[in-house]
Structure 1
Amino acid sequence: MAPAKYQNPPQRPPVFVGTPQSVVEDTKRLIAKSKKVQDEIVSVNLDDAVFSNTVLLMAQDDNVMSLESHIIGFYQAVSTDKTLRDASTDAEKLLDDFGIESAMREDVFQRVDAAVKKGEKLDPESQRLLEKDHKGYIRNGLGVPAGPKRDRFKEIKKRLSEISITFQKTLNEENGGLWFTREELDGVPADLIDSWDQGTAENEGKVRLTFKYPDLFPTLKYAKNPEIRKKLTVANENKCNDNVPLFREAVILRDEAARILGYKNHAEFRIEDKMAKQPKTVDDFLGDLRSRLAPGGLEEIEKLKELKKTDLSSRGQDSSFDGHYYLWDHRYYDRLMLERDFQLDHQTISEFFPLETTIRGMLHIFEELFGLAFVELKGKDRDALSETGKGSDIVWHEDVQVFSVWDDDGEGNGFVGYLYLDLHPREGKYGHAANFNLQPGFIQANGTRRYPATALVCNFSKPTPKKPSLLKHDEVVTLFHELGHGIHDLVSKTTYSRFHGTNTVRDFVEAPSQMLENWCWTPSQLKSLSKHYSYLSPAYLAAYQQEPSGSKSQPTEQIPDELIDNLIRTKHVNDALFNLRQLHFGIFDMTVHEPSSHEDIEKMEISETYNRLRKEISKLDGPEIADGWGWGHGEATFGHLIGGYDAGYYGYLSSQVYSADMFYSVFKKDPMNGKEGRRYRHTVLERGGSQEEMKTLEDFLGRAPSTEAFYRELGLS
């Protein structure tokens, strides 16, 4: 049972009882209600239009609508029922189409425009909402005279919505894989192979390897046979080829739409509202970083080539070394280098990070740092809180954990919201790691606060009878990062859902989570997060001692200092290659969204451009040596560029500038400084997008942000 003071949250958690019929019916009801609000606004005389009878009414409607609409759209990412996923997709399309229609209602815009011109004295967040909404109508085509051009713009917006939904659905439901014999998978951990589907009939004696991350990445890291790694790499790059024409159509339509609005290209349109403000700032940043990183990348490749040559020679395969370092070589030889030069065995390290204990450790860090308390809800606690009386209704799958989140004594013991963890892969589920807002927080029309609910959706390996789910260190970082988004979502305190939590500009949104990744490289925190899985149960201890690599003597309970030191020494090993990979994504994004003319994007060979840029920027060879530049279609798996990061992927790198500055300036000396943690919570996280993000940064840092810490961290200062 939860402690007494945490047993009665002032708000019940949402329930997940949607059916294929209800989600569509509920969506139509929400749309009808919103349309009624808009029609009421239109009944206001232009001379009488002010904030309170225009934008405020729509904001309050958005607040209430989001309590249902986010969950309706969420089912497509997590439901095991395909018909419900399909209905969720259909409902999202209805909402998107309505959103486009609403954003292009000239009669509503006229009232908003009149309210802006009134020049009322509003609180800062309301003023920001008024200005953003007003500009939003213009950016949605209402600055274009009524007629064929505006009609075409609207048609494009609707088609782009369809493309986005179909593209993501293809990614979510991708269920391809390859059959291999155990001999072909020599080097891959046996317990991983044992967890895969075992073949029958024509696949007798084989196992099926999917393209899900818990299967794909370890195989690329450990499979000794380069032909198997190549086959897997090429297949993974071609796993969603139905998306190839959709991606092409999307970038062409975006360019056309931007030009209708009077912009030079889609990048200029998108970046105008971000911290960078103009494409040149982004291009200069990416170009400078590329020129600084390229020499280091080439040096790293030369060292890795030497390792590859030595490795092949040790296996009597000297003749197979052709002087190239390939895409499918990198995870394998990067891992081998860490083991050889740094005595770093990621399998051994993962034994100290069982998923459940790592999560508890992370939550404890956030409790200390931000003044929070996490209370897991199980059994009767769930039943008591569920509005249906059935605890199973407050989750969407039996694997999901749910926590009520509270302020601690020092922060006043108030309720904060609900946190959900959905951590293992399953068919039809979103395939990466992400944080989804389920219900935002905001101030309700009666003046009381509505509390948020947020979900982490990840794909970590499932436990087996012999081992719990064990996290590689990079998975620990991923979990911490996504949980960082979740905390941002939980502690945000804005008036309007529009600005809640991670609803910031895209080139800032990653910074808070990226900053928190630093705790995964801090010795004291790594120690506190760790617990060797053999201490979790007698069965796990017995299984550990039966492992070929096991022994009768049990390891220390927490990760040894020597392993921590070895891990931290590797933080920047092959770092240039890692960041060149990110640069490839960012520069490809800008390339397809910043053509010099519409004809250029129409003529662009997009897959060839993607592969050529990867070779030029990341310096890694691919199958193009034999098969030409069209060998793969990585852009068809690139959900970010269709799902909101278009002309914005650079934000992952530019956010690192801000995150490094915040960490080194404030937390480096004492990462668990609760006073600074709470100041960060109240100054940065609580604000969400309710004010200019640069002001948020400057308020916290006490000055304008600097690139110095970022380049110093990369060894490029």
Structure 2
Amino acid sequence: MGGEEDDDRHYRREEASRRSVNNGGSKGRKVIAVTGTAAILAVALNFAFVAFNSRRRRRKSKELAGSEVRVNLSASEIRKLADQIVRESKEVHDAFSSVPADKVRYRDIMALADLEARQFPLIQSCVFPRLVSTSEDVRKASAEAEQQINTHVTSCRKREDVYRILKAFTTRGEWINAEAKSYAHSLVRDFERNGLNLSSTKKDEIQRLQSLIDDLSMQYIHNLNDDNTFLLFTETELEGLPNELLKILDRANNDKVKITLKSNHVLPVLELCKVGATRRKVAVAYGQRCKDVNVPLLENLVLLRHKFARLLGYDNYAEYVVCSRMAKTSSKVFEFLEDLSMSLSELATKELETLKNLKMKEEESSPFGIEDLLYYVKKYEEENFSVDFGALKEYFPLSLVLQGIFKIVQDLFGLRFEEIVSVDVWHDDVRVFSVFDLSSGELMGYVYLDLYSREEKYSQTCVLPLQNGSLSSNGARQVPVVLLMTQLLKEDIDSPVVLRFSEVVSLFHEFGHVAHHLCNHSSLARFSGLRVDPDLLEIPGHMFENWCYESSILKLISGYYQDITRPIKDDICTSIRRCRHSFSALKLMQEILYCLFDQIIYSADNVDLLEVFKFLHPKVMLGLPFLEGTNPASCFPHSAVGYEASCYSRIWSKVFAADLYASKFHDGILNHHIGMQFRNKVLAPGGAKDPLECLTNFLGREPSVQAFVDNIALSSV
């Protein structure tokens, strides 16, 4: 139900911020986007060629110019490289700390910047194999290396001798440029957020609190992961679930069906089961998972985080989290959520009335509850939208979708993709592309695509920076390198891979991040790639999703897998657009509810977590009663670990992405001039520049919620 996000995209960027497709082709084959009739012909020929060559292509070792990323390291090589990284880092930090405080200059600071740029691709070379390698020994060595490097990085951020020199430099304020100033201040901030500006007693307390917080956070997650609770139902009580699902579910107690409280069981019941009492029973059980153990854990976590933040000089934990983000203050977050909630209220009320009327026809005696939301949304869509998403996948062959994405990225942002065949990779499925600036021919960077599912590979769709673009102190340019991973299924080696439409949307989203990584032109690795403000980070991905709902783009990327000259029809394009925002206002109100809960508990003292939610629920959810027996404090992991006090950021980025698209691209979706403005004003500046300033510079005003609300209203039920 609400509060748990439908994917784990954030892995790639949270990990990257802290630490630092398909078979086919032949020798020398290039992927170059073209236009018009030529595009259709080129795509068709490429599609056939890929299928023909998919089983006989093999990679030869060849280095990528400007890339320090190392793939196919053995377990022993990973261990040696990790030792080298730690050793070199310690040497540079020791040398820096030996500089007299009154003599430190920017060139000394640049030694730390050069270290970051030099070591980032080496660190990623050590740690990314645990996500992709087919070797258990390599994955184990990679995980050990990651832990070793993280421990070292943490220790570096606690070095008082290094902090003292940095503080002396920033106090003098001798800046070469704005980026240099941002870099030095960001280093100091890292140290001070670890308490190095505090007394010895307070520093010890900070470390004690952080250790407790880490332990309790992990325990909260482990409790949810280890929960094996299940419910038993007769097949009659599960009416509406497809027979193929019922056949594979476990049985117990006179052939009753076992429904676990994992999302792969709960969601089908809430979406498909016709029996309201069953939906309610499952929803209540799902909402009270780990209630006895996790509620006191979250209460303790909130208390400890407030203590942690106040030791560092903040009023509460929310201010500690938000102050370094685009939103800047917790009050701004509340203002944003309340503004959006009020703007959506009338539309959400109409949507809710539609669902209530549906339930009245099917279950007259039972009032509409939050547990009915998914079922009646799906029922309405089935009755009113003529889209069979199961059959639709036959019109989205992967090769065709990729070609379309390459063309869009080229037309908009001036990035030309060219495949490299003879290059070392970790699996035959992996493809590698050089990316060039369309106008100048300059090498912009490299993209690895590892798109197919396989055993032991990381199970989520994500983008992982492997090397950040930067400019060293001697003027040498280091190009960005990025990895995009998905879990697409190759069902038959002789048939083309086809995508569900949700996978098409996901691929577009991830390419928004790929473009961001490649176009970020910061001089310093710390502000390059995807190392930007978290509130800005998701905006390019969400914005890029918009293109795959446009009819002309849907025609470009679709074609029946046995005859790609047959794209999807106009009425299907229209239905896809209508489905996109089906009941979006009501769904978003539920997200806002959880974001408000998250922001409140980390903004105030001594709050009763359950009472806060009970108070918020009917107000935000338009009078829908709170589901008695549930307690989000027990099973809302985002508020426990990873996104505490920042759950709002997902909505923030979606709303502002909608504003960017509607205001600038809607009347010219492949307008190269506007695309290049977006590239130069939003993607290129990197993390050193204020993100609100970047967006305002592009829009000509500050971003607002109105375009998002208007967009939803246009396709409202």
Q: Give the TM-score, by structure 1 length.
A: 0.79
Runs of 5+ unmatched residues, structure 2: 1-25, 32-61
Tell me the residue number matched to 1:139: 193
CA distance in 2, matches of 1:616, 1:184: 32
Look up the match of 1:34: 89
SS in 2 for 1:494: coil
Match of 1:515 among 528, 543, 552: 543
> Identity over aligned residues, as a percent?
28
CA contact (8 A) 2:468 2:479 kept: yes
CA deviations 1:595-650 (Å, max 9, x no partner) are 2x3xx16xx447x756875565346969933xx234883313x3x8623x332222
8 Å CA contact 1:501, 1:686 repeated in 2: no
1:97 and 1:161 in contact (8 A); partners too: no
* Contact 1:615–1:621 (8 Å) recurs in 2: yes
| Cα pair 2:220 2:640 within 8 Å, conserved | no
CA contact (8 A) 1:353 1:532 kept: yes
Secondary structure in 2 aligned to 1:46? Answer: coil
1:666 and 2:664 correspond: yes
2:357 pairs with 1:306: yes
Aligned to 2:636: 635
C-alpha deviation, 1:103, in angstroms: 2.1
Matches within 5 A, 1:17-56: 17=72, 23=78, 26-53=81-108, 55-56=109-110
1:41 CA displacement: 0.9
Deviation of 1:104 after TM superposition, in Å, equals: 2.6
Q: Equivalent residue of 1:493, what SS?
A: coil
Describe the superposition over 1:498-556 as per-residue Cα deviations: whole angstroms up to 9, x where unpaired: 111222212222222222222122111122122234547xxxxxxxxxxxxxxxxxxx8
Instruction: Provide the residue aligned with 1:695 in structure 2.
Output: 693
| Alignment-derived partner of residue 627 in structure 2 | 624
Aligned with 1:572 (options 581, 584, 592) = 581
CA distance in 1, matches of 2:136, 2:622: 41
User: What SS class does the counterpart of residue 498 from structure 1 fall into?
Assistant: helix
Shift of 1:81: 6.5
Q: Alpha carbon RMSD of aligned pairs, Å? A: 4.1
Moved more, 278-287 or 180-189: 180-189
Matched residue SS, 2:662:
helix
Q: Could you say what secondary structure the match of 1:142 adopts?
A: coil
Task: Describe the shift of the 1:359–1:311 C-alpha distance in structure 2 as closer, same or farther (beyond 3 A).
Answer: farther
Superposition deviation, residue 303 in structure 1: 1.4
- What is aligned with 1:539? none
Residues 1:631 and 1:666: Cα distance change in structure 2 (over 3 Å): closer
What is the Cα deviation at residue 580 of structure 1?
A: 1.0
Matched residues in 2 for 1:512 and 1:209: separation?
Answer: 37
Q: Give the letter aligned to residue 52 of structure 1.
A: R
The match for 1:155 among 208, 215, 225 is: 208
Q: Distance in 1 between matches of 2:117 and 2:75?
A: 24
1:369 aligned partner, one-letter code: L
Shift of 1:260: 0.5
- In structure 1, stretches of 5+ residues that fail to align are 313-317, 537-555
| Secondary structure of 2:693 counterpart | helix
- Cα 1:309–1:711 shift into 2, 3 Å: closer
2:711 is aligned to: 713
Structure 1 residues 333 and 79: CA distance shift in structure 2, 3 A: farther
Contact kept, 8 Å, 2:618 with 2:626, in 1: the verdict is no
Check conservation: 1:374, 1:403, Cα contact below 8 A.
no
Shifted more, 90-99 versus 614-623: the winner is 614-623
Counterpart CA distance in 2 for 1:695 and 1:576 is: 29
8 Å contact from structure 2 (residues 511, 544) kept in 1: no
**TM-score, structure 2 length as denominator?**
0.79
* Native 8 Å contact 1:185 1:223 kept in 2: yes
**Higher RCO (C-alpha 8 Å, min separation 6):** 2
1:211-360 pair list within 5 angstroms:
211=262, 220-224=270-274, 249-311=300-362, 321-327=365-371, 329-360=372-403
Deviation at 1:283, TM superposition (A): 1.0
Cα offset for 1:358?
Answer: 2.6
CA gap 1:291/1:423 in 2 versus in 1, 3 angstroms:
farther
Quick one: distance in 1 between partners of 2:229 and 2:401? 31
Q: CA separation in 1, counterparts of 2:128 and 2:374? A: 33
Residue in structure 2 matched with residue 549 of structure 1 by the alignment: none
Residues of 2 paired with 1:675 and 1:609: CA distance?
48
Structure 2: how far apart are the matches of 1:268 and 1:404?
42
Structure 2 Cα separation of the partners of residues 168 and 681 of structure 1: 38
For the residues of structure 1 that align with 2:401 and 2:623, how far apart are their CA atoms?
34
Q: 2:340 touches 2:705 (CA, 8 Å); kept in 1?
A: no
Deviation at residue 122 of structure 1 after TM alignment: 0.9
Rounded to whole Å, the distance in 1 between the matches of 2:341 and 2:151 is 40
Once the two structures are superposed, what CA deviation does each residue of 1:540-583 show, in whole Å capped at 9, x if it has no partner? xxxxxxxxxxxxxxxx8211101111222344331211211221
**C-alpha distance in 1 between matches for 2:357 and 2:66:** 61
CA contact (8 A) 1:501 1:685 kept: no
1: CA distance, partners of 2:402 / 2:616 = 38
Tell me the secondary structure at the aligned position of residue 352 of structure 2.
helix
1:99-248 equivalences in 2 (<5 Å): 99-145=153-199, 147-161=200-214, 193=245, 211=262, 220-224=270-274
Q: Secondary structure of the equivalent of 2:482? A: strand
| Aligned position for 1:652 | 650
Question: Structure 1 residues 369 and 202 mapped into 2: Cα distance closer, same or farther (>3 Å)?
Answer: farther
Aligned residues: 659
Summarize the Cα distance change of 1:641–1:351 in structure 2 as closer, same or farther, 3 Å threshold.
farther
Per the TM alignment, residue 233 of structure 1 is displaced from its structure 2 partner at its CA by: 5.2
Residues 220 and 92 of structure 1, relative CA distance in 2, 3 Å threshold: farther
| 1-structure distance, mates of 2:686, 2:204 | 35
Kindly provide the amino acid, as one letter, of the partner of residue 348 in structure 2.
G
What's 1:543 paired with?
A: none
Query: CA offset at residue 457 of structure 1?
Result: 3.6
Does the alignment pair 1:374 with 2:428? no
Match of 1:558 among 558, 567, 574: 567
Instruction: Say whether residues 1:361 and 2:404 are aligned partners.
Output: yes
In the aligned structure 2, how far is the partner of 1:336 from the partner of 1:80? 42
Say which of 423, 429, 443 aligns to 1:385.
423
Segment of structure 1 superposing worse, 357-366 or 175-184:
175-184
User: In structure 2, which of residues 668, 676, 693 is the aligned counterpart of residue 678 of structure 1?
Assistant: 676
